[in-house]
Structure 1
Amino acid sequence: MSDSLNVVLRFALYLDLMLLFGLAVFGLYSFRGKERVSGAVLHFGSLLPGIAAVGVFLSIATFIVMAKNMSGASDWAELRPHLEMMLYETEIGYSWVTRMISLAAVIFVASQSARWPTWSLGVATLAGGIALSTLAWTGHGAMDEGTQRFWHFTADILHLLAAGGWIGALAAFGLMLSIRRSNSEQLVRVLSRALKGFETAGAFIVGTIIVTGIANYLFIVGPTLLEVLTSTYGVLLLLKILLFGCMIGLATLNRFYLSPSLERSVEAGEYSLAATALRKSVLIESTCAVVIVCLVAWLGTLSPSIDMAQG
């Protein structure tokens, strides 16, 4: 039960922090001027503080469950000294404190979005990126030493940030496609421009995920393939790669067919069918992304070497 709870909490925390960073950075590179004001297109003033607040709760719950699993404590009196030791004497504790400070910063600055939209999104992006990066200290890289530890952490952090950028963009597109307002045509024009602008960012994100994903595999498993495929770790990893391939396929469909179709439809004044098709594609792509994050949360709790030996 504790292992399952750990995976569920890790999944929720990963998804939450990826959304936090991804939505904030999306607002910076996709919107212009007053479009960044909360409520103009997206409600950053409530979305980002709300997501950050959920991140605070999930971080506390995850830290407690982690300490309980590591110590085997059965009650609070027994667990408390282990919590204090982890908090004050371990890198996991230091990274947790850093995350909490970063989330508090997001809650404060994002609530000022109506007054300082660009500034608040910039700080939220930085603080959200730091909060997301701290998850690397709960992964396999924390077990490495020396130079390999540095490069493993670097790959982990870049992988997390790239994934967060993609998931945040999908969430933003989904929210924009669900908007029903009197000025919906203007919002669809903003959406069409944002989709076109995401082409460069999307290519960079996919490239980063592929390169850092390969690096992480080599750091964790090594230059081997056949042995890992017979293990639970390998099966989950293969499923993750297949879903990632589906996401790339859907992103390609959006890039070369659905997005241009929406752009043409907006110019023609009838965009409902194109928007509906794009909405379905984004929904499927988002579902794949959520399942991948769930698999990542599960994979982070497995030891490939032990798993392969048992397999």
Structure 2
Amino acid sequence: MVPQDLQRQIWAQLAPHRRIAVACVGVSAIVLLPIRSAMIGNGWPDALNPDMLLAIAFDTTVGTAWCCQIVATILLLFTGFVPGSMNVAATAIVSALLLASLSFTGHAVMNDGWRGVLHQANDVVHLLAGGAWVGALLPVFLILPRLEDSSTRDQARAALSHFSMAGHLAIAGVILSGVTNMLFILDGLPTDWTFEYQRLLTVKIGLVAAMILAAITNRYILVPRIVRHRGSRALAIGTMAEIVLAIAVIGFVAWSAMLEPAA
């Protein structure tokens, strides 16, 4: 979605952020299995119990998810050695696999049979659409200053136009798959606030609605101003607002992932 010259600049600028992110993924993947072992077993003494670790890794759905995440993390480390422009595609593909592996655990595996398969498939769509939306925000934020430079202005405008078109699809995917996930889990709206999960889900829905409002404001109010050589600063603020809201949404998802959704 970004012209080649500008793509190389942004990719190089993202390099330190990418290394930090991959390191965080690697560390979290390594420590996740001992934490799961302590939760399922008899507390922290089982966190490093070899028999418990092996049983969870190879005999449970959370273990299957963990094995997939470890493989994807190793592949993600190796993408750093892929040469040239193929590095971008390799990183995107492996990151998508890593996101999709999250559908093997949590509420996505609460159903059996075809309902379970459809639930997991829908969860993959939700994860990938959300990843595309949130993942594009930082590159967009880094592209915006290029609008002030006459040598990169046209490329930056073209990139923003492409991101805008893809963003519509990603947001639509998040909304449709999110509603479908809610119906799979709750068979309705989160109206029973005696359950912490439903309270958190309500807050998450409000945050996503705020993200959508920010995205609409950015696209239909601020982007047209850029065409008239105004508004790039306001668009940068709007994009940062989306990033902050996205971090909050991910936090609420992580918090609620293992909670009992309903009776």
TM over 0.5: yes
Match of 1:131 in 2: 98
The TM-score normalised by the length of structure 1 is: 0.76
Give the distance between the partners of 1:78 and 1:194, measured in 2 at CA: 48
**Pairing of 1:260-279 with structure 2 (within 5 A):** 260-265=224-229, 274-279=231-236
**Quick one: which amino acid aligns to residue 95 of structure 1?**
A
SS at match of 2:49: helix
The TM-score normalised by the length of structure 2 is: 0.89
Match of 1:32 in 2: 3
Going from structure 1 to structure 2, the CA distance change for 1:81 and 1:259 (only over 3 Å counts) comes to: same
Mapped contact 1:141–1:156 kept (Cα < 8 A): yes
**Quick one: which amino acid aligns to residue 138 of structure 2?**
A
Match of 2:159 in 1: 194
Determine whether 1:215 maps to 2:180: yes
**Pairing of 1:49-64 with structure 2 (within 5 A):** 49-64=19-34
Give the distance between the partners of 1:177 and 1:276, measured in 2 at CA: 8
Mapped contact 1:48–1:107 kept (Cα < 8 A): no
Identity %: 24
Give the distance between the partners of 2:195 and 2:152, measured in 1 at CA: 48
Q: 2:50 aligns with which of 64, 76, 80?
A: 80
Determine whether 1:65 maps to 2:35: yes
Q: 1:242 aligns with which of 190, 202, 206?
A: 206
Give the distance between the partners of 1:77 and 1:211, measured in 2 at CA: 39
- Please report the RMSD computed on the Cα atoms of aligned residues, expressed in angstroms: 2.4
Mapped contact 1:155–1:212 kept (Cα < 8 A): yes
Give the distance between the partners of 2:221 and 2:48, measured in 1 at CA: 59
| 1:116-151 deviation digits (Å, cap 9, x = unpaired) | 21x222121111111111111222122221111101
Q: 2:170 aligns with which of 205, 208, 219?
A: 205
- Give ranges in structure 1 of 5+ residues lacking alignment: 1-29, 266-270, 307-311
SS at match of 2:39: helix
- Give ranges in structure 2 of 5+ residues lacking alignment: none
Determine whether 1:289 maps to 2:260: no
| 1:192-215 deviation digits (Å, cap 9, x = unpaired) | 322211222111111111111111
Q: 1:152 aligns with which of 116, 119, 133?
A: 119
**Pairing of 1:252-263 with structure 2 (within 5 A):** 252-263=216-227
Match of 1:268 in 2: none
Give the distance between the partners of 1:130 and 1:169, measured in 2 at CA: 17
Structure possessing the higher relative contact order (Cα contacts under 8 Å, 6 or more residues apart): 1
| 1:197-238 deviation digits (Å, cap 9, x = unpaired) | 122211111111111111111111113554x24432222111
Aligned residues: 262
